[in-house]
Structure 1
Amino acid sequence: MGIGIGIVLLVIGLILVTGAVDLPASIDDAIASDTLGWICLVAGALAIVLALVMNSQRTRSTTRVERVEEQRHLD
């Protein structure tokens, strides 16, 4: 799920940075689309890197299960 969110943020960031979509004037006056685009780009790249690191740690870890059996004493 983290990789997917990272890719979405990267795409949104690239769209905002390059100006591929013209935002309405009311939105463009309220936010700086270039700055928001760079923030989305950095957040997307960070999300992808963190997801890959977490995934690699998950595959390297091993789980050890010990089974303890109780001995019943009959009196």
Structure 2
Amino acid sequence: MSLGTGIVLFVVGAILAFALNLQVGWIDLHLVGYILMAAGVIGIILGIVLITRRRTSVATTRQAVDPATGERVTRRTSDIDDSPL
């Protein structure tokens, strides 16, 4: 669930809970609105957590001397871990 989906759920829930004055015999639209608003808040929180998660980067530098030529060799590598939670 993305941040946008959470916002849409919250807005639709708020419309159902507060803006509509409609009575349906088989469902309580106000309760459905509150449930959608709660799901929207959870979606917004999850979206923010997933957006702000930190990426871990590891930089490694190795220096060695080539025994055949006697020259110094430097190797730099960088790894980024952006695996999902």
Q: Please indicate, yes or no, whether the TM-score normalized by the shorter chain is above 0.5.
A: yes
* Larger proportion of strand: 2
**Percent identical:** 36
Amino acid paired to 2:56? T
**Which runs of at least 4 in structure 1 moved beyond 3 Å after TM superposition?**
63-67
- Cα distance in 2 between the residues matched to 1:61 and 1:32: 44
TM-score (norm 2): 0.60
Q: Secondary structure at the match of 2:56?
A: coil
TM-score (norm 1): 0.67
Q: Which has the larger radius of gyration?
A: 2
2:55 aligned to which of 48, 51, 61: 61
Counterpart residue number, 1:15: 15
Amino acid paired to 1:61? R
Q: RMSD value over aligned CA atoms? A: 2.3
Counterpart residue number, 2:71: none
Higher relative contact order (CA 8 A, sep 6+): 1
Which consecutive residues of structure 1, in runs of 5 or more, have no partner in the other structure? 68-75
1:41 matched to 2:37 = yes
- Cα distance in 1 between the residues matched to 2:8 and 2:44: 10
Aligned positions, number:
61
* Larger proportion of helix: 1
